[in-house]
């Protein structure tokens, strides 16, 4: 491998690395830092047991605690990192209401009682701190799910309007901290979603009066403390749709760091309006619903229409969070058990603009329930989607590492067929091109001609199968399609350093790869050989880079 670097630049980079190493940020990471990351979401109670057992029963219908812990999560970080994820989102960590109602126990963490105590079912403060440290030791980020819209209270059959004892909430010990009781009747009415509450007559979710500055201050002070105490890198704001919108920018500015807020709505106008006015990031529900239409209803055109609408309405698409499953929506495999369709949707979701998020169990193609205990799968690292995710994370990371503009460059559709879509992301010469099919595993074998790709006579690697193709003199890429499989292309000369198709993960730069490619062409052709050897100074190097760059 050819390595050329400017000594001065090297010292600068060295100094920056040292600074990063010595002063670990006590505050959360920024939006730009988060954009390059890829998130694995766990539900702590259902992810891993302290004793590592994979045979302990967990009856999802009963909705009780099944025993997962932060220590269990620590012990399974290899499993997460093995798929290439560099951030983990965990369930809410605060003390929840105890006991069992008709709705079950608070195993999911969404029934808060006391912000300043941790949920002892998941472990101690020290365990949580150890999890944070273990993640950072692997250069992984910790994304914390926070419930700041409501508390929880079991009324066990009695009307919440009259049967909540507010003095039990240590930080909000009176009804004045809460909105008067009313049940949300119309989720499409945002005012209703903000002023009223969900829950039922067994478990009520008293809705915090988040217009009030006393409530806001308590929530912000707590959020700052939890970020600083556990070195949290970012927050997922649960039920952001139900929070007073004007509170959100105050919260974001005061607490600091990247946050993504849950506004479950298929309508891009509404969701992007939140990004425009209130939050840096949101889970991309409009994209999620249109992926279902495209891949499961066989309407690829609908995805293109939705992308156009998201691009025109959202202010920062690469900061949005992409997913095809989370803890609330149906499992993809439950909706459709053809794993080939899941492979296509997953490929699109991982490589399209945005921060990918995979909810635990998707990699095992679990169909039954999104609350299934993951240990029942034996953490199979040979599972089809586990391996696909590791490849997709690797090519995404590699593309980011050799192209600083990759993350913020917009994905362009370059082809639409009756059952195919192709997209381009990245700078010319190092673009990732994905070709997706909605045919499913019953799809037939045929050759598809992609009209505009990498220029003429370029060798490209299809990274999901490690096969090379050469574009023809018309710059067309002729791709053998079969069984509805997705394809992902990258220039073969840019593959070194990717960790894919026989290449190790190394710190390469685009310039090095370009120079190596030129050297390779020169030595195998009749062109004059560029003098790379000793005495090759930074000035000549920079000139050459300028000459070679597009």
Ligand X SMILES: *[C@@H]1O[C@H](CO)[C@@H](O)[C@H](O)[C@H]1NC(C)=O
Residues comprising the binding site for substrate?
111, 236, 328, 371
Q: Name residues contacting ligand X, limited to 125-184 (CB under 6 A).
A: 159, 167, 173-174, 183
Q: Name residues contacting ligand X, limited to 195-214 (CB under 6 A).
A: 195-196, 200-201
Which of 341, 360, 356 has the alpha carbon at shortest distance from 394? Answer: 356
CA angle 320, 34, 349 (to 5 degrees): 45
CB of 234 to ligand X, least distance (A): 21
CB of 35 to ligand X, least distance (A): 19
Q: Which is nearer to ligand X, 12 or 446 (CB)?
A: 446
Q: Name residues contacting ligand X, limited to 307-346 (CB under 6 A).
A: 338
Which of 394, 466, 463 has the alpha carbon at shortest distance from 81? Answer: 394
Tell whether residue 191 is a contact of ligand X (CB under 6 A): yes
CB of 535 to ligand X, least distance (A): 26
Phi, psi of 508 (to 5 degrees): -105, 160
Tell whether residue 492 is a contact of ligand X (CB under 6 A): yes
Tell whether residue 480 is a contact of ligand X (CB under 6 A): yes
Which of 121, 123, 141 has the alpha carbon at shortest distance from 132? Answer: 141
Residue 479's DSSP bridge partners are 448
What torsion, rounded to 10 degrees, do the Cα atoms 329, 331, 337, 343 define? Answer: 100
Tell whether residue 507 is a contact of ligand X (CB under 6 A): yes
Q: Which of 84-92, 238-246, 320-328, 435-443 is the region at the interface with ligand X (rule: CB under 6 A)? A: 435-443
| DSSP one-letter code for 101 | B
CB of 506 to ligand X, least distance (A): 6
Among 5, 11, 53, 156, binds ligand X (CB under 6 A): 53
CA distance 107 to 370: 13
Among 32, 62, 330, 378, binds ligand X (CB under 6 A): 62
Q: Which of 55-63, 220-228, 361-369, 416-424 is the region at the interface with ligand X (rule: CB under 6 A)? A: 55-63
Q: Which is nearer to ligand X, 17 or 543 (CB)?
A: 17
Give the nearest residue (CB) to ligand X: 67
Q: Which is nearer to ligand X, 53 or 368 (CB)?
A: 53
Among 16, 168, 456, 466, binds ligand X (CB under 6 A): 466
Q: 63-69: long-range contacts (C-beta < 8 A, 24 or more apart)?
A: 63/103, 63/104, 63/105, 63/107, 63/371, 64/100, 64/104, 64/105, 64/107, 65/105, 65/106, 65/107, 65/121, 66/107, 66/373, 68/43, 68/44, 68/122, 68/373, 69/44, 69/121, 69/122, 69/123, 69/127
Among 19, 22, 23, 59, binds ligand X (CB under 6 A): 59
CB atoms within 10 A of CB 541: 16
Q: Which residues are annotated as a binding site?
A: 111, 236, 328, 371
420-425 vs 153-154, strand pairing mode: unpaired
CB of 450 to ligand X, least distance (A): 13
Phi, psi of 23 (to 5 degrees): -110, 85
Phi, psi of 470 (to 5 degrees): -115, 130
Size of site (CB under 6 A) for ligand X: 44
Tell whether residue 442 is a contact of ligand X (CB under 6 A): yes
Q: Which is nearer to ligand X, 313 or 319 (CB)?
A: 313
Q: Name residues contacting ligand X, limited to 251-270 (CB under 6 A).
A: 267, 269-270
Q: Which is nearer to ligand X, 67 or 112 (CB)?
A: 67
Report yes or no: 145 and 234 within 8 Å, Cβ to Cβ: no
CA distance 430 to 294: 27
| DSSP one-letter code for 365 | T
Q: Name residues contacting ligand X, limited to 266-295 (CB under 6 A).
A: 267, 269-270
Report yes or no: 197 and 150 within 8 Å, Cβ to Cβ: yes
Q: Which residues are catalytic?
A: 238, 262
CA angle 98, 95, 51 (to 5 degrees): 85
Q: Which is nearer to ligand X, 156 or 269 (CB)?
A: 269
Q: Which residue has the tokens 């992609």?
A: 450
Q: Using CB under 6 A as the criterion, which residues of the chain lie in contact with ligand X when the complex forms?
A: 17, 49, 51, 53, 56, 59, 61-62, 67, 159, 167, 173-174, 183, 189, 191-192, 195-196, 200-201, 267, 269-270, 338, 382, 440-442, 445-447, 459, 461, 466, 468, 480, 492, 501-502, 504-507
């Amino acid at each position: 491998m050819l390595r050329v670097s400017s000594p001065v630049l090297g010292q600068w980079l060295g100094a920056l690395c040292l600074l990063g190493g010595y002063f670990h940020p006590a505050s959360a990471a920024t939006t730009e830092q988060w954009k390059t990351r890829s998130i694995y979401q766990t539900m702590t109670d259902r992810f891993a047991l302290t004793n590592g057992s994979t045979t302990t029963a967990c009856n999802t219908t009963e909705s009780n605690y099944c025993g997962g812990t932060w220590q269990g999560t620590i012990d399974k970080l290899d499993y997460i990192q093995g798929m290439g994820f560099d951030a983990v989102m965990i369930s809410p960590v605060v003390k929840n209401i105890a006991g069992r109602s008709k709705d079950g126990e608070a195993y999911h963490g969404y029934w808060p009682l006391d912000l300043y105590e941790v949920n002892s079912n998941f472990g101690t403060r020290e365990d949580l701190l150890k999890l944070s440290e273990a993640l950072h030791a692997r250069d992984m980020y910790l994304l914390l799910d926070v419930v700041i819209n409501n508390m929880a209270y079991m009324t066990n059959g009695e009307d919440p309007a009259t049967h909540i004892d507010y003095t039990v909430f240590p930080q909000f010990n009176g009804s004045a901290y809460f909105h008067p009781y009313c049940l949300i009747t119309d989720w499409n009415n945002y005012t209703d979603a903000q002023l009223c509450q969900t829950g039922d007559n067994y478990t009520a979710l008293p809705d915090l009066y988040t217009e009030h500055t006393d409530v806001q201050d308590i929530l912000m002070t707590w959020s700052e403390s939890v970020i600083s105490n556990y070195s949290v890198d970012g927050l997922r704001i649960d039920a952001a749709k139900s929070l007073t919108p004007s509170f959100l920018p105050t919260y974001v500015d005061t607490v600091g760091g990247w946050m993504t807020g849950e506004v479950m709505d298929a309508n891009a106008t509404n969701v992007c309006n939140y990004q425009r006015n209130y939050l840096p990031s949101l889970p991309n529900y409009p994209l999620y619903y249109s992926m279902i239409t495209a891949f499961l209803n066989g309407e690829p055109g609908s995805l293109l229409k939705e992308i156009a609408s998201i691009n025109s309405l959202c202010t920062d698409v690469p900061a949005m969070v992409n997913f095809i499953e989370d803890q609330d929506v149906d499992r993809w495999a439950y909706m459709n058990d053809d794993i080939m369709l899941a492979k296509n949707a997953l490929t699109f979701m991982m490589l399209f603009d945005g921060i990918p998020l995979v909810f635990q169990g998707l990699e095992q193609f679990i169909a039954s329930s999104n609350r299934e205990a993951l240990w029942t799968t034996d953490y199979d690292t040979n599972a089809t989607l586990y391996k696909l995710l590791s490849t997709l994370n690797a090519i995404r990371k590699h593309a980011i590492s050799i192209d600083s503009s990759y993350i913020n460059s917009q994905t362009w559709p370059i082809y639409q067929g009756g059952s195919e879509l192709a997209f381009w992301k990245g700078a010319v010469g190092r673009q990732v091109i994905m070709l997706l099919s909605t045919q499913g595993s019953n799809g037939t074998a045929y050759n598809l001609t992609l009209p505009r790709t990498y220029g003429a006579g370029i060798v490209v690697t299809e990274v999901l199968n490690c096969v090379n193709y050469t574009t023809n003199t018309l710059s067309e890429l002729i791709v053998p399609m079969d069984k509805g499989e997705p394809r992902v292309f990258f220039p073969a000369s840019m593959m070194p350093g990717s960790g894919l198709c026989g290449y190790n993960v190394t710190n390469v730069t685009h310039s090095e790869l370009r120079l190596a490619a030129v050297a390779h062409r020169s030595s195998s052709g009749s062109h004059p050989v560029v003098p790379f050897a000793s005495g090759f100074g930074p000035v000549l190097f920079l000139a050459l880079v300028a000459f070679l760059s597009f």
